[in-house]
Amino acid sequence: MSELSRAERRQRTERRILDTARELFAQRGFERTTIRAVAQAAEVDPALVMQYYGSKQRLFDAAVRVAEPPAGEAGPEELIEELLGSLDVKLGELPPASLAMMRSMLTHPEAAASARGVLGRQIERVGRSLPGERARLRAALMTMIMLGVAVGHQLLELDELRDVPPEDIARLLRPCLQALSEG
């Protein structure tokens, strides 16, 4: 068995720090997650976390970064199917990055700035698929409806959202999203 190169060890360490940060930000939120706690849980020195990321804010930004969907231009119907299809994920076990952002975005200004960036890109992508006037506003409303459902289910644990299958929620949301997509 060959030993890992220095670059491979560095990459594994950085990945371990980032995975640990995602878990802690998801569990504790931005305010209660410290560089020291991340370092301890990742079994590294706090100085190493700072060397890789420079600040808690940059660590958070890296932790909540999610892969963007392909930039293809979907039509309104395909867009609605994509949004409603994502409910299974949003109402299931969310990735730690998504949970971390949701938990922190309402309580910390820097986390809110990160969320605005992610949501802004989502709104831009959705808006490109909508015909007619005020596409960006309609895209923002569609995006925030989906976020609201996820927050109600994941963070507020509303029984009304947790006691029904995602398909039922999707069926009820469809007319609303269709109306917004048409302008």
- Residue 57 binned pLDDT confidence (cut-offs 50, 70, 90): confident
Q: Per-residue pLDDT averaged across 60-80, rounded?
A: 70
| pLDDT computed for residue 86 by the predictor | 76
76-182: in CATH 1.10.357: yes
Supply the pTM of this predicted model.
0.69
Q: 154: which residues sit within 8 A by CB, 6+ positions away?
A: 90, 91, 94, 99, 102
Domain boundaries, the chain: 6-64, 76-182
Structure tokens at 58: 């940059």
CATH number of this structure's domain 6-64: 1.10.10.60
Cβ–Cβ < 8 Å for 149, 52:
no
pLDDT tens for 82-94 read 888 777 666 767 7
pLDDT tens for 71-83 read 456 778 888 888 8
Closest to 63 (Cα-Cα) out of 108, 115, 106, 10 = 115
| pLDDT computed for residue 68 by the predictor | 54
Q: Which residues of 88-127 are buried (b: 16+ CB within 10 A; e: fewer)?
A: eebbeebebbbbbbbbbbeebebbeebbeebbeebbebbb
Q: Say if residue 182's pLDDT is above 70.
A: yes
